[in-house]
């Protein structure tokens, strides 16, 4: 099953830093992840799109450069979800 | 209250050789063209310090400069800079710091302090409303930064201490100038210049306030800026909650985190030294500089030390770069750097270089990648130039050269590269190679565009067209460094706000584009300075490892830095010739006509 | 050779503009600055259906040989790149904004989003509102201070670091003008809900 790694404040909402998620696309996996967790859902989603500044990567590649939320995922893929963060 | 807006209109000049102090008016044409901070410092340095001057000789100067926004109360208007010729790189240098000292220095009624010459014995300066005195610092010489700061009576809002530690006293080329205890003017070794003048500290107390010409407009700008900073999750949540060290996991995730002296670009121990780990295990609270609503500073505690930091770059330099996944050791190494007065990026990366040399059997030392237990002692030895610390004290390039392997110094123009691997972020590589003070991420940063999607994600492996982004960010960084405010404000607030705040404060109309052009002007002048020093196209480069050794694994696997085509495009886009020399046309456009001859 | 990723950005924004009703079939133009080069739509192409051969790449200061196919507005784009920090330009014809530009010298939004993002949008006028050096210079001067300006009766010019940004300003402007129009139809006294709102008109 694909692993979803969560970072920053998302860990607090999810209660974990890594969760197994079901789905053939990023969208499906993230939907699965947020099931029953309104706080996490609010932090990641804005309607049907990703919240502004939230970044999702599959094996280190930002989904925006692949197929966005429709990016397909394989069973041994690693998805990383970052809340809005900044630094220098 | 000052009639003029923003600037105080005065330069304080201190000659440590003769003991003379004097004041003179600030050239307002120069101030309008270069604003303050880095810009004004570079402009003044051009006149003061030529190619014949050795950075550690009495003929070098230290130019501490505020900008027109410093001390006005605009968000983050606490910053200031020091300009000098760098002992580490030999280039023009400015280093930039926050805290409270800059605000207080402005209150003494000056925009600039220029320190020249060399005192016979260790001294410290005291600048108060009653006047300027040069005082005996022999009893302070040798003291670490915290003790010096305390002894001289540091009070954040009333009396502020800027000083060097043992590293600066012993002329380490990585020495920082520390202010308000744990803030630093760090990169490029300005601490060594200060130490070479036998100047231990500068204490400031002031009463004056900068003038604000259009009070109503300024109030409006304060309100709008406050709104924006609060609305942006970056400045209202991410930075205060997790600090800059929150970058560790994301940069590692994309495979752009240099590891073990850039041998790899991903670190298996990144999670253990991440912002999340710090918050969970060692964070006491966050903290802020003067007039800053963001509060990105960490205060962290282990069972041995408590203090400010670590920042992302520090945690990287002593962490991934050294193959160390022990966050407590990193916090303690950071603390020791602050006490010694050392730049954490250069120090950590120089230790990493030593680790590689030792592993290869070239350097006789027990240093090895992963030896967290040796970090603190190594930093202290560097500060005191003891044992092998003496060999590391002047940076990785001199160290590596000594052992016949200059290619193992991960530096550009002698300055150690920061925490983003150019092979995984192509634009960042171009940025480092063309930075006027050497390999540095604070002169523009492609992190936003290439990783975080701020304002939009541009593919980090894309090469075509990258130069225009790099140039824009370099220009913007240069003007932010001249205003002087904090670049984190720019994460929530666009440049057009700064331009309007500047216009409101000074009463001089700066359209946004004109303000950014100040940045371009500063950038070009710095370039000319370096050309005069003998730097050339060949110096706009990166370590051979990054140009030739593909990343061995991770998301950036197989990549090298494609610097050459980007650099060609960069020169053209900057309006420079194919050797990277600003053309007369470009110089005229920037009002730098008088420098046309210098550029030939 | 224009990098595929760059073409994708043009295609996406071009289509968004058309679908938002902000351009006619062949109107408007968008461009990007890449280093010292400009990429722009060729004359006669449709922004809503861009193909790779619809994009022209040429010099920043003067045309490459054989470049006669670039848009008539290339001069304006070039001037803007040389005189402002713009890296991308979106020029479109947002109909409500254009209608408002006929009777005023500046558009001052009343809705929340545009007050926040734009504050004020100046209207620039020029006799031959297409392709003249005078127009180009006036536009560039205005874009030194504002990220989007209107050309009276013609359309908007927006600048940004990316096409995305410039489109964002354009779309926000049009939305805000539609709201202003509806408020005029509703015709009831405006209840000021923003603090320090006088500052917007003086932006």
Structural domains for chain C: 4-187 (3.40.225.10)
Q: Give the pLDDT band of residue B89 (cuts 50, 70, 90).
A: very high
Q: Is the pLDDT of residue B266 over 50?
A: yes
Q: Give the pLDDT band of residue C62 (cuts 50, 70, 90).
A: confident
Q: What is the pLDDT of residues C137-165, one digit of tens each?
A: 999 999 999 999 999 999 999 999 999 99
- Considering only CB atoms, B220 lies closest to which of C36, C60, C196, namely C196
Residue B43, in any domain of the structure? yes
Q: What is the mean pLDDT of residues B190-202?
A: 98
Tell me B175's DSSP state. Answer: B
Asked if omega into B455 is within 30° of 0 (cis), the reply is: yes
Tokens of B280: 């969970």
List of chain B residues whose C-beta atoms are within 8 Å of the C-beta of residue C34: 464-465, 467-468, 569
Residue B451, in any domain of the structure? yes
Confirm or reject contact between B428 and chain A (CB < 8 A): no
* A38/A41 Cα distance (integer angstroms): 5
Confirm or reject contact between B455 and chain C (CB < 8 A): yes
Confirm or reject contact between B421 and chain A (CB < 8 A): no
Residue B504, in any domain of the structure? yes
In three-state secondary structure terms, B189 is coil
Q: Are residues B505 and B582 in the same domain?
A: yes
Residue B340, in any domain of the structure? yes
* C138/C144 Cα distance (integer angstroms): 10
Percent of chain A residues topping a pLDDT of 70: 100
- Considering only CB atoms, C35 lies closest to which of B455, B465, B512, namely B465
Q: Are residues B273 and B391 in the same domain?
A: yes
- Considering only CB atoms, A9 lies closest to which of B237, B247, B451, namely B237
B21 neighbors B132 (Cβ within 8 angstroms): yes
Nearest CA in chain C to B448: C161
Confirm or reject contact between B18 and chain C (CB < 8 A): no
Angle between helix B375-383 and B344-359 (nearest 10): 110
Q: Share the mean pLDDT of chain C.
A: 93
Residue B229, in any domain of the structure? no
Q: Are residues B333 and B471 in the same domain?
A: no
Q: What is the pLDDT of residues B147-156, one digit of tens each?
A: 999 999 999 9
In three-state secondary structure terms, B167 is helix
- Considering only CB atoms, C145 lies closest to which of B449, B459, B511, namely B511
Which phi and psi angles does B121 have, rounded to 5°? -125, 160
Tell me which of C64, C161, C163, C166 to substitute to probe the interface with B (most B C-beta atoms closer than 10 Å).
C161
Location of structure tokens 């002087």: B484
B470 neighbors B434 (Cβ within 8 angstroms): yes
* C80/C77 Cα distance (integer angstroms): 5
The total number of structural domains in chain B stands at 3
Which phi and psi angles does B557 have, rounded to 5°? -50, 135
End-to-end CA distance of chain A: 34
Q: Between chains, do C6 and B572 touch, taking CB under 8 Å as contact? A: no
Tokens of B206: 């002031």
Q: How far is C200 from chain B (nearest CA, A)?
A: 9
Q: Between chains, do B220 and C35 touch, taking CB under 8 Å as contact? A: no
Q: What is the pLDDT of residues B426-467, one digit of tens each?
A: 999 999 999 999 999 998 899 999 999 998 999 999 999 999
pLDDT, residue C61, reads: 85
Q: What is the pLDDT of residues C153-196, one digit of tens each?
A: 999 999 999 999 999 999 999 999 999 999 999 999 999 999 99
* C155/C144 Cα distance (integer angstroms): 18
- Domains observed in chain A: 3-82 (3.10.20.30)
List of chain A residues whose C-beta atoms are within 8 Å of the C-beta of residue B241: 8-9
Q: Between chains, do B249 and A7 touch, taking CB under 8 Å as contact? A: yes
Q: Between chains, do B234 and A84 touch, taking CB under 8 Å as contact? A: yes
Q: What is the mean pLDDT of residues B346-361?
A: 98
Confirm or reject contact between B244 and chain A (CB < 8 A): yes
Residue B64, in any domain of the structure? yes
Confirm or reject contact between C115 and chain B (CB < 8 A): no
Q: What share of chain A is helix, strand, coil (3-state, %, to 5)?
A: 30, 25, 40
Q: Are residues B473 and B412 in the same domain?
A: no
Q: Is the pLDDT of residue B206 over 50?
A: yes
Q: Between chains, do B239 and A86 touch, taking CB under 8 Å as contact? A: yes
CATH number at residue B28: 3.60.9.10
Q: What is the mean pLDDT of residues B160-185?
A: 98
The full length of chain A comes to 88
C142 neighbors C11 (Cβ within 8 angstroms): no
C-alpha separations of B478 from B32, B165, B487, B526, B566 in Å: 15, 28, 10, 10, 21
Q: What is the mean pLDDT of residues B242-260?
A: 97
List of chain C residues whose C-beta atoms are within 8 Å of the C-beta of residue B226: none
- Nearest in space to B378 (alpha carbons), one of B397, B406, B350: B350
Q: Between chains, do B456 and C162 touch, taking CB under 8 Å as contact? A: yes
Q: Are residues B379 and B467 in the same domain?
A: no
Q: Cα C46 to chain center, whole Å?
A: 16
Q: Between chains, do A8 and B311 touch, taking CB under 8 Å as contact? A: no
CATH number at residue B464: 1.10.599.10
Q: Between chains, do B253 and A80 touch, taking CB under 8 Å as contact? A: yes
Touching C: which chains, 3+ CB pairs < 8 A? B
Q: Is the pLDDT of residue B355 over 70?
A: yes
pLDDT, residue B1, reads: 45
Which phi and psi angles does C155 have, rounded to 5°? 170, -170
Tell me A64's DSSP state. Answer: G
In three-state secondary structure terms, B5 is strand
Q: How far is B559 from chain A (nearest CA, A)?
A: 14
Nearest CA in chain A to B266: A60
Q: What is the mean pLDDT of residues A26-30?
A: 96
**Domain region containing B282:** 240-416
Residue B257, in any domain of the structure? yes
Q: Are residues B436 and B407 in the same domain?
A: no
Confirm or reject contact between A9 and chain B (CB < 8 A): yes
Q: Are residues B67 and B88 in the same domain?
A: yes
Cβ contacts from A onto B, under 8 A:
93
- Nearest in space to C28 (alpha carbons), one of C47, C44, C13: C47
Q: Are residues B147 and B107 in the same domain?
A: yes
CATH number at residue B351: 1.10.569.10
C183 neighbors C110 (Cβ within 8 angstroms): yes
Location of structure tokens 């006036």: C138
* B266/B319 Cα distance (integer angstroms): 12
Q: Between chains, do C161 and B514 touch, taking CB under 8 Å as contact? A: no
Nearest CA in chain C to B499: C145
Confirm or reject contact between A83 and chain B (CB < 8 A): yes
- Considering only CB atoms, A88 lies closest to which of B255, B276, B487, namely B487
* C121/B476 Cα distance (integer angstroms): 23
Confirm or reject contact between C164 and chain B (CB < 8 A): yes
Confirm or reject contact between A11 and chain B (CB < 8 A): yes
* B466/B472 Cα distance (integer angstroms): 10
Q: Are residues B286 and B376 in the same domain?
A: yes
Q: Are residues B438 and B400 in the same domain?
A: no
- Considering only CB atoms, B234 lies closest to which of A7, A80, A86, namely A86
Q: What is the mean pLDDT of residues B273-294?
A: 97
Q: Give the pLDDT band of residue B67 (cuts 50, 70, 90).
A: very high
B399 neighbors B346 (Cβ within 8 angstroms): no
Q: How far is C16 from chain B (nearest CA, A)?
A: 16
Which phi and psi angles does B264 have, rounded to 5°? -130, 175
Confirm or reject contact between B462 and chain A (CB < 8 A): no
Element (H, E) at B114: strand B112-116
Q: Give the pLDDT band of residue C70 (cuts 50, 70, 90).
A: low
Confirm or reject contact between C34 and chain B (CB < 8 A): yes
Q: Looking at the whole model, is its pTM more than 0.95?
A: yes
Nearest CA in chain B to C197: B220
- Nearest in space to B180 (alpha carbons), one of B156, B148, B206, B204: B156
If one counts every other C-beta atom within 10 angstroms of the C-beta of residue B191, the result is 35
Q: Between chains, do A85 and B246 touch, taking CB under 8 Å as contact? A: yes
Instruction: Pick the last residue of a domain from B416, B444, B473.
Output: B416
Residue B233, in any domain of the structure? no
List of chain C residues whose C-beta atoms are within 8 Å of the C-beta of residue B572: 35-36
List of chain B residues whose C-beta atoms are within 8 Å of the C-beta of residue C145: 496, 499, 511-513
Q: Are residues B371 and B448 in the same domain?
A: no
For B395: left if phi > 0, alpha if psi spans -120 to 50, otherwise beta; the answer is left
Q: What is the pLDDT of residues B210-230, one digit of tens each?
A: 999 999 999 999 999 999 999
Q: Is the dihedral of CA B496, B500, B501, B505 positive or negative?
A: positive
Q: Between chains, do B464 and C32 touch, taking CB under 8 Å as contact? A: no
In three-state secondary structure terms, C188 is coil
List of chain A residues whose C-beta atoms are within 8 Å of the C-beta of residue B442: 88
Q: Are residues B536 and B568 in the same domain?
A: yes
Nearest CA in chain A to B253: A60
The residues with which B479 forms a beta bridge, in sequence order, are: none
Confirm or reject contact between C25 and chain B (CB < 8 A): no
* ipTM surpasses 0.90: yes
Q: How far is C144 from chain B (nearest CA, A)?
A: 5
Q: Share the mean pLDDT of chain B.
A: 97
Q: Is the pLDDT of residue A51 over 90?
A: yes
pLDDT, residue B4, reads: 84
The residues with which B94 forms a beta bridge, in sequence order, are: B83
Confirm or reject contact between A57 and chain B (CB < 8 A): yes
Tokens of B18: 């003769």
The residues with which A25 forms a beta bridge, in sequence order, are: A72
Confirm or reject contact between B492 and chain A (CB < 8 A): no
């Amino acid at each position: 099953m694909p692993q979803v790694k969560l970072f920053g404040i998302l860990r607090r909402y999810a209660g974990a830093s890594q969760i197994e998620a079901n789905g053939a696309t990023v969208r499906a996996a993230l939907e699965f992840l947020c099931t029953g967790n309104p706080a996490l859902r609010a932090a990641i989603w804005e309607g049907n799109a990703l919240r502004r500044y939230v970044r999702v990567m599959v094996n280190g590649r930002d989904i925006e450069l692949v197929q966005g939320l429709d990016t397909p995922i394989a069973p041994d893929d690693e998805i990383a979800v970052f809340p809005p963060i900044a630094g220098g | 209250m000052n009639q003029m807006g923003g600037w105080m209109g005065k330069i304080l000049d201190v000659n440590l050789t003769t003991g003379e102090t004097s004041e003179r008016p600030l050239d307002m044409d120069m101030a309008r063209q270069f604003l303050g901070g880095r810009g004004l410092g570079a402009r003044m340095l051009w006149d003061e310090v030529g190619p014949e001057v050795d950075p550690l000789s009495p003929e070098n100067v230290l130019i501490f400069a505020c900008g027109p926004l410093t001390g006005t109360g605009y968000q983050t208007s606490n910053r200031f800079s020091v300009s000098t010729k760098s002992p580490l790189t030999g280039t023009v240098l400015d280093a930039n710091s926050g805290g409270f000292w800059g605000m207080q220095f402005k209150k003494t009624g000056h925009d600039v302090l220029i320190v020249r010459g060399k005192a016979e014995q260790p001294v410290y300066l005291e600048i108060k409303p009653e006047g300027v005195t040069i005082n005996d610092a022999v009893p302070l010489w040798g003291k670490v930064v915290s003790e010096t700061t305390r002894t001289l009576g540091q009070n954040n809002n009333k009396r502020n201490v800027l000083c060097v530690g043992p590293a600066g006293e012993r002329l380490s080329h990585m020495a920082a100038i520390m202010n308000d205890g744990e803030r630093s003017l760090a990169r490029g070794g300005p601490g060594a210049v200060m130490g070479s003048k036998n100047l231990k500290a500068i204490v400031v107390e002031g009463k004056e306030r900068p003038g604000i010409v259009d009070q109503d407009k300024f109030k409006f700008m304060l309100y709008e800026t406050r709104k924006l900073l609060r609305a942006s999750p970056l400045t209202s949540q991410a930075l205060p909650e997790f600090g800059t060290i929150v970058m560790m996991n994301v940069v590692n995730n994309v495979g752009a985190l240099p590891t073990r002296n850039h041998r790899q670009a991903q670190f298996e121990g990144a999670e253990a030294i991440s912002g999340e780990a710090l918050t969970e295990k060692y964070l006491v609270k966050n903290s802020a500089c003067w007039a800053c609503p963001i509060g990105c500073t960490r205060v962290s505690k282990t069972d041995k030390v408590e203090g400010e930091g670590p920042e992302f770059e520090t945690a990287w330099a002593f962490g991934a770069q050294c193959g160390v996944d022990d966050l407590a050791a990193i916090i303690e190494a950071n603390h020791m750097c602050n006490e010694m007065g050392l730049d954490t990026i250069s120090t950590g990366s120089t230790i990493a270089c030593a680790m590689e040399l030792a592993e290869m059997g070239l350097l006789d030392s027990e240093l090895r990648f992963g030896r967290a237990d040796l970090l603190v002692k190594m930093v202290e030895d560097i500060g005191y130039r003891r044992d092998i610390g003496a060999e590391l004290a002047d940076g990785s390039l001199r160290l590596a050269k000594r052992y016949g392997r200059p290619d193992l110094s991960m530096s550009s123009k002698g300055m150690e590269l920061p925490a983003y691997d150019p092979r995984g972020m192509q634009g960042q590589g171009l940025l480092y190679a063309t930075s006027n003070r050497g390999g540095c991420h604070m002169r523009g940063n492609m992190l936003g565009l290439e990783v975080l999607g701020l304002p939009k994600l541009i593919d980090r492996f894309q090469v075509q067209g990258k130069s225009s982004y790099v140039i824009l960010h370099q220009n913007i960084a240069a003007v932010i460094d001249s205003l002087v405010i904090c670049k984190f404000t720019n994460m929530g607030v666009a440049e057009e706000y700064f331009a309007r705040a500047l216009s409101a404060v000074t009463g001089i109309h700066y359209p946004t584009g004109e303000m950014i052009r100040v940045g371009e002007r500063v950038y070009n002048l710095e370039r000319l300075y370096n050309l005069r020093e003998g730097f050339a196209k060949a110096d706009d480069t990166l370590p051979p490892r990054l140009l030739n050794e593909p990343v061995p694994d991770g998301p950036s696997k197989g990549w090298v830095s494609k610097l050459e085509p980007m650099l060609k495009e960069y020169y053209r886009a900057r309006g420079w010739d194919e050797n990277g020399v600003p053309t007369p046309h470009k110089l005229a456009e920037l009002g730098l006509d008088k420098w046309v001859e210098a550029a030939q | 050779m224009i990098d595929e990723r760059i073409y994708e950005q043009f295609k996406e924004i071009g289509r968004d503009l058309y679908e938002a009703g902000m351009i006619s079939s062949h109107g408007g133009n968008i461009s990007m600055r890449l280093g010292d080069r400009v990429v722009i739509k060729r004359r006669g192409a449709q922004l809503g259906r861009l193909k790779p051969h619809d994009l022209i790449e040429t010099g920043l200061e003067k045309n490459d040989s054989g470049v006669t196919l670039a848009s008539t507005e290339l001069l304006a784009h070039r001037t803007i790149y040389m005189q402002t920090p713009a890296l991308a330009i979106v020029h479109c014809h947002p109909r409500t904004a254009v209608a408002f530009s006929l009777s005023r010298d500046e558009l001052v939004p009343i809705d929340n989003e545009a007050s926040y993002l734009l504050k004020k949008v100046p209207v620039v006028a020029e006799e031959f509102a297409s392709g003249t050096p005078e127009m180009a210079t006036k536009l560039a001067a205005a874009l030194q201070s504002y990220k989007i300006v209107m050309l009276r009766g013609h359309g908007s010019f927006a600048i940004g670091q990316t096409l995305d940004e410039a489109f964002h300003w354009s779309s926000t402007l049009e939305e805000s003008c539609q709201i202003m129009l509806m408020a005029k139809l509703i015709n009831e006294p405006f209840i000021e809900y923003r603090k320090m709102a006088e500052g917007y008109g003086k932006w």
